[in-house]
């Protein structure tokens, strides 16, 4: 069963890497906006995430895009996206690829 959850988590990460903030050419996962991914025995997914700024004008769009993409994964029953702002996001949370893409390296 653990292997099944690992496969689902890998697929979730792959899906998250297809979600972009329209203003930043880097996906939400590599930007470091995803803080936690949990999958329960029934296939319910809870994702904790943040934004680079609390007043992100496209927050609703991004959250719905994540939910839609995660809920299409085989084995996922539902996806709940929780916005958190603690700890606050900073550029050190980005992957090396994101920093390179944005010219921060």
Tokens (6 digits) for 62: 């991004």
Residue whose C-alpha is closest to residue 94's, from 38, 21, 22, 11: 21
Q: Is the pLDDT of residue 6 over 90?
A: no
Please report, rounded to a whole number, the percentage of residues in the chain having pLDDT higher than 90: 82
**What pLDDT score does 12 carry?**
98
H or E stretch covering 86: none
What are the pLDDT digits (tens) for 64-99?
A: 999 999 999 999 999 999 999 999 999 999 999 999
pTM (predicted TM-score): 0.92
How many angstroms separate the Cα of 68 from the Cα of each of 37, 90, 92, 97, 103?
A: 15, 26, 28, 25, 30
- At residue 1, the pLDDT reads 52
């Amino acid at each position: 069963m653990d292997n099944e959850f690992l496969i689902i988590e890998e697929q979730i990460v792959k899906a998250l890497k297809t979600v972009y903030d329209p203003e930043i050419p880097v996906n939400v996962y590599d930007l470091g906006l995803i803080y936690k991914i949990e999958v329960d025995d029934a296939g319910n997914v809870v994702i904790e995430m943040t934004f680079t700024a609390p007043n992100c004008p496209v927050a609703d769009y991004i959250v719905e895009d994540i939910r839609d993409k995660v809920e299409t994964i085989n084995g996922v029953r539902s996806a709940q996206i929780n916005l958190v702002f603690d700890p606050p996001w900073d550029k050190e949370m980005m992957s090396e690829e994101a920093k390179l893409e944005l010219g921060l390296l």
